[in-house]
Amino acid sequence: MDSSGYRSDGVGLAVAIVNAVYGAEADVDDGVLLEQTMQEYGVMSRALTGREKAGLRGWAGHLHNVFSADSADDAAHLLNQLLDVVVTHPYITDHDGKLHLHYAPAEADPLHRVQASTAMGLAIVLCDYGMARLGVCRATDCECVYVDVSRNAQRRFCSESCANRTNVAAFRARAKSTAAAGATS
């Protein structure tokens, strides 16, 4: 994995924003998770306004559609629509000690910066890897997304807890059907 897109904050931010809105702990009403995410990724440190929260939720919905696209062509089409409405202004910065790209001016409003960096980050991953690295968790009742950075691109779950929950359920289902088969034979 040596794509700059992979390590870019935009990709991690895209996953974090979507999961703040779609995750099991998503607080759709007060947006605390969204505020934490914005702080964690250094986008902003003040409280979000209602308009900003609504904007981020809407954007998270668009990003989720990219992660759940049926094909790379569909994802590309969706991302092109997003890139079409977001004005990007790429420049190189080393504010954290290492040269990297930002896609919107530092003085742009937070929503604009999130839109520019997440759309560009996902576009770069899509161009480099197709849909192989973008996914939606396969666990029942989980809508979280992930970017697969594993060596063999075999990831299927957003988290260890979803993987464990699914494995335990599958194990129980197998044990039950084995017991049922035993009872009838």
Exposure of 165 by Cβ count < 10 A (0-12 exposed, 13-18 middle, 19+ buried)? middle
7/156 with CB nearer Zn ion: 156
DSSP 8-state code for residue 98: S
Count CB neighbours of 100 within 10 A: 15
Instruction: Tell the residue number behind the tokens 């995750």, with chain if given.
Output: 23
Nearer to Zn ion, 66 or 137 (CB): 137
Percent composition of the chain: helix, strand, coil (DSSP 3-state, to 5)? 60, 5, 35
Report, in Å, the least distance between residue 164 CB and Zn ion.
11
Q: What Rg do the C-alpha atoms of the chain give, in angstroms?
A: 19
Residues 119-148, interacting with Zn ion (CB under 5 A): 137, 139, 142, 144
Smaller CB separation from Zn ion, 2 or 25: 25
Nearest distance in Å: CB 144, Zn ion? 4
78 binds Zn ion (CB under 5 A): no
Find out whether 109 and 129 touch, Cβ atoms under 8 Å. no
- In the complex, the smallest distance separating the C-beta of residue 101 from Zn ion, rounded to whole angstroms, is 30
Please state the closest distance from residue 142 (CB atom) to Zn ion, in A.
Answer: 3
Tell me how many residues contact Zn ion (CB under 5 A): 6
Q: How far is the CB of 158 from Zn ion (least distance, A)?
A: 4
Q: What is the DSSP letter of 47?
A: P
For residues 88 and 159, which CB has a smaller minimum distance to Zn ion in the complex? 159
Residues near Zn ion (CB under 5 A) are 137, 139, 142, 144, 158, 162
